Amino acid sequence: GENVEQHPSTLSVQEGDSAVIKCTYSDSASNYFPWYKQELGKRPQLIIDIRSNVGEKKDQRIAVTLNKTAKHFSLHITETQPEDSAVYFCAAGFDNYGQNFVFGPGTRLSVLP
Amino acid sequence: KAGVTQTPRYLIKTRGQQVTLSCSPISGHRSVSWYQQTPGQGLQFLFEYFSETQRNKGNFPGRFSGRQFSNSRSEMNVSTLELGDSALYLCASSPTDGSNQPQHFGDGTRLSIL
């Protein structure tokens, strides 16, 4: 089955710096890659997603890149702010009937003021 | 639109008991997925329901079951509870019947087993 690895597990950056989180997946059939942000005690919230027919997608300070050949995708956050501090999860979705996602173990991002 | 609603928010049970958790999806959403979140295992997929049918299933024992009603509300049941079932159980709904659609999560039910 699909396996998703995520690195680093923890990341500390200074406010205003960039943060990069990387994920790799094992199943070449996966074709949808969402990223979720989960603040302490709150629900995971979708922040950006990308499909396998696209190499890069950007939304303000957040961007995601996908390399299908290498089976890895990355989340880039620029000009980080303290409110970006949270746990970030990547996920891979199978090309099958319905919803079936495998999540990475998460990255705890701390933005230091 | 109201978001995904899960009840109850907190639950304390003892080993051997059973529990039922409820999830009301966003109005118009027909797909409901359930996840178990623990510090050690992260977010793990339990199952997905669509049109009252289980469409996908993760690797959990048969003690974990679910169902979906005609109004898309879903329930999850865990029987013969074990200490290791202590976790945050999250429900997520999706707007269409297609594959790989964005999911919207509820706040979860935190289940503690004593």
User: Given CB atoms, is B25 within the 8 Å cutoff of chain A?
Assistant: no
Alpha-carbon separation of residue B80 from A113, B13, B63, B84, B91 (angstroms): 47, 11, 7, 11, 21
In angstroms, the CA B90 to CA B105 distance is 7
pLDDT tens sequence across B58-79 = 999 999 999 999 999 999 999 9
pLDDT tens sequence across B80-114 = 999 999 999 999 998 766 667 788 999 999 999 99
Residues of chain A whose pLDDT is less than 50?
Answer: none
Mean pLDDT of B6-19: 97
| Residue of A43, A52, A95 to mutate, interface with B, max B Cβ within 10 Å | A43
Which of A32, A43, A44 lies at the smallest CB-CB distance from B100? A32
pLDDT tens sequence across B19-44 = 999 999 999 899 999 999 998 778 99
Say what the pLDDT of residue A96 is: 64
User: B102–A89: do the CB atoms touch at under 8 Å?
Assistant: no
Say what the pLDDT of residue A54 is: 83
User: Given CB atoms, is B45 within the 8 Å cutoff of chain A?
Assistant: yes
- Give yes or no for a contact between A47 and A109, defined as CB atoms under 8 angstroms apart: no
